[in-house]
Amino acid sequence: MGVQNKNSTRAELEAYKKKTQAETLKALEEAVAETKPASSRVAPSILPTDEREKSTFSTIRQGTATNALTKIKSSTKRNTVIDPITGTAIITQGNLSITIPDFTELTGFKTSTYQLLDALTVKLTETGAKSPIVALSLEEYMEKRGLKDKKEARKQATDDLETLFNAKISFTEKRKKGQEQDFHDIRIIDSKGIRKGIINVSFGTAFYNILLGYPIMPYPSQLWTLNGKRNPNSFYLLRKITEHKNMNVGKKNEDIIAVKTLLAVAPNLPSYEEVMAGNRNIADRVISPFERDMDAVEDTLTWTYCHSKNTPLTDEELRSMSYDTFISLLIKTDWKQYPDQTARLERKSERLEQVEQGKKRKTSKKKKADTE
């Protein structure tokens, strides 16, 4: 089994190197080719242009808690229980729950709340995470977000900090050796404020320690500029695709993700049951908004529908997209650019090789002991 894993990792590394070389050649070809309009969803929905600024990446510590947290939208009130006396809300999604006191008084978790949390976590990550205290200038945050009005940006950041400060999260995640660990009522941030143009926060002690144990992921800058009002699902869709890419880098499915998986993290798309209880128009209420908000991430990637093994859709499927067909589909993504992961895959290969050598030494010692 160990030999299979070792060979598999080496094969993944070689395949990744070939893939990156092919992508580089493809990008050069596209740069000199005349851009033609997309004729259908079988071709990329948005084609790259020379004028469009390339997406850039930051790095962020991320894991079970942060990835689940950044998919919850409290304004939809899905999976939400509000205490009629205290006004405290408990929002549950999967293994994670958020407790928000004075729920009716606070603005609640919005797309901008997660964009601020990610900006603070990126700052923590890229400054070495030596302390839970983070300072981010309002000017830098506005530049990341593409905000122009300083007064409005400060108000938005103040509201989002208040939401993060008041919220507590509880979740279960698997630790080493597959053991599950429960975390209850973890504070995201312990203190916050904006003074002299600087956003100052201190991550909660437990939350900070959890972040320290999380791996680092490339973070596309477009996640900060996506407009939560114009494209209410785009942030959540792109963040999920980014997490999927990072988790499966070097594997065959790194750029393939199921429509069902993406629908599960799009908080502003109604469920099938909700649509059927209303006007029953799946195309207008689910499929079209989904495609619109996927198209909005064009600065980072292009996408197409496909079946397994990247099989294209038939003309009939394109003409009359039923809900059953829609939820059975996969999404093939094509990143405009992505940080080279060769070194990471080589380190993974080396670690597996060391583990395999360790197993061989143990087996050799055992055989020697048995013969003595």
pLDDT in tens, 33-81: 444 433 344 433 333 333 333 448 999 999 988 998 888 766 656 677 8
How many C-beta atoms lie closer than 10 Å to residue 276's C-beta? 12
* 20 — pLDDT class (breaks 50, 70, 90): low
Write down the pLDDT at residue 53: 38
Q: Which helix (H) or strand (E) segment is 97 a member of?
A: strand 96-100
Whether 115 shows a pLDDT value over 70: the answer reads: yes
Write down the pLDDT at residue 109: 84
CATH number at residue 96: 1.10.10.10
* 104 — pLDDT class (breaks 50, 70, 90): low
Residues 47 and 134 in one domain: no
Domain count of the chain? 2
Write down the pLDDT at residue 63: 92
Which one of 172, 187, 220 terminates a domain?
220
Write down the pLDDT at residue 209: 95
Q: Which contacts of 64-67 are long-range, i.e. CB under 8 A and separated by 24 or more positions?
A: 64/95, 64/96, 64/171, 64/173, 64/174, 65/96, 65/169, 65/171, 65/173, 65/183, 65/186, 65/207, 65/210, 66/117, 66/121, 66/211, 66/214, 67/239, 67/243
Write down the pLDDT at residue 116: 98
Give the three-class secondary structure for 145.
helix
Which one of 220, 255, 276 terminates a domain?
220
Handedness of CA 108, 123, 133, 66 (dihedral sign): positive
Residues 22 and 162 in one domain: no
- Tokens standing for 113? 């709340």
Mean pLDDT throughout 365-370? 61
Residues 237 and 350 in one domain: yes
Handedness of CA 109, 224, 140, 149 (dihedral sign): negative
Q: What angle do CA 59, 65, 70 make, to 5 degrees?
A: 70
Residues 193 and 299 in one domain: no
Residues 138 and 10 in one domain: no
- With beta carbons less than 8 A apart as the criterion, state whether 210 and 186 touch: yes
Residues 157 and 16 in one domain: no
Residues 37 and 66 in one domain: no
Write down the pLDDT at residue 306: 95
Whether 14 shows a pLDDT value over 70: the answer reads: no
Whether 187 shows a pLDDT value over 80: the answer reads: yes
Facing residues of 96 across strands?
A: 93, 171
In a domain, 370, yes or no: no
Residues 67 and 200 in one domain: yes
Residues 212 and 102 in one domain: yes
- C-alpha torsion angle, residues 241, 20, 250, 120 (rounded to 10): -40
Whether 362 shows a pLDDT value over 70: the answer reads: no
Least confident of 69-73, 293-297, 340-344, 364-368: 364-368
What range defines the domain where residue 243 resides? Answer: 1-55+226-359
Write down the pLDDT at residue 267: 87
Q: What amino acid occupies position 290?
A: F
* 106 closest CA partner among 80, 79, 74, 84: 74
Write down the pLDDT at residue 26: 58
Q: What amino acid occupies position 45?
A: S
Residues 246 and 344 in one domain: yes
Least confident of 35-49, 230-244, 303-317: 35-49
Write down the pLDDT at residue 107: 64
Mean pLDDT throughout 356-368? 66
Which one of 168, 190, 220 terminates a domain?
220
* 32 — pLDDT class (breaks 50, 70, 90): very low
